[in-house]
A and B are shown apart, each in its own frame.
Chain A
Amino acid sequence: EVHLVESGGGLVQPGGSLRLSCVASGITVSSVYMNWVRQAPGKGLEWVSNVNSGGSTFYADSVKGRFTISRDNSKNTLYLEMNILRGDDTAVYYCAAGQFEYWGQGTLVTVSS
């Protein structure tokens, strides 16, 4: 059975940084597409970033240059390093794997002073 567990969310001031983690079990993060998707409170879904099995990475325009996706194969963990955070980055951040068959429960990031 596949499980994805996100962590690392919390309250951060504008301009600050945060690193999210997504620990996977039952699936190998280096073998499938791994995505980050976010959802602002009361709003729709927004695709943020992904990394494919070959290691190529892609970013939404809204986060390009500020966020970095990476993975640690030894820990079977996906990361999202978020810098220069803004108020509109406030959202629940989900990791999703493969053909989006598998989702974590999400972790809330709040950017506020």
Chain B
Amino acid sequence: QAVLTQEPSLTVSPGGTVTLTCGSNSGTVTSGHHTYWFQQKPGQAPRALIYSTNNRHSWTPARFSGSLLGGKAALTLWGAQPEDEADYYCLVWYSGLGVFGGGTKLTVL
């Protein structure tokens, strides 16, 4: 089973830009892996932000975008807001099996 690696923690200034990445020990993450990105705040269930690499849900702010970058999946946040402080997780699919990354704790400070 693949292991996905995310940055354990990142800090971004209000209004700043940050990119979170999701790399696999199985090799390059491609569009065929249909990466998802989730946001989770303390005491809450996760909320889906991105599906199939780069598609936003209707409720996902436009400041979030998903992409592939240097063989990894990436989530870029443009113009960070205080309410974006949360844990972020990627989810990648391998032949029907899902694997979550370890999560990134994003601080907006």
A residues within 8 Å of B by Cβ?
A: 35, 37, 44-47, 50, 56, 58-61, 94, 96, 99-101, 103-106
Beyond A45-B38, A60-B97, 4 additional contacts (C-beta under 8 Å) are A35-B98, A44-B101, A45-B100, A103-B45
Instruction: Give the Cβ gap from A93 to chain B, nearest Cβ, in Å.
Output: 11
Asked if A99 and B48 sit within 8 Å, CB to CB, the answer is yes
The answer to whether B36 has its CB under 8 Å from any CB of chain A is yes
- Classify chain B: how many residues form its interface, as a range: 20 to 34
Instruction: Give the Cβ gap from A55 to chain B, nearest Cβ, in Å.
Output: 13
> Number of contacts between A and B (CB, 8 Å)?
55
Instruction: Give the Cβ gap from B79 to chain A, nearest Cβ, in Å.
Output: 24
Asked if B45 and A106 sit within 8 Å, CB to CB, the answer is yes
User: With A44-B100, A45-B38, A100-B51 as given contacts, are A60 and B89 in contact (CB-CB < 8 Å)?
Assistant: no
The answer to whether B14 has its CB under 8 Å from any CB of chain A is no
Name 24 interchain pairs, CB-CB below 8 A, sorted by A. A37-B46, A37-B100, A44-B101, A44-B102, A44-B103, A45-B38, A45-B46, A45-B103, A47-B97, A50-B96, A56-B96, A60-B97, A94-B45, A94-B46, A96-B46, A99-B48, A99-B51, A100-B36, A100-B38, A100-B46, A100-B48, A100-B91, A103-B46, A103-B47
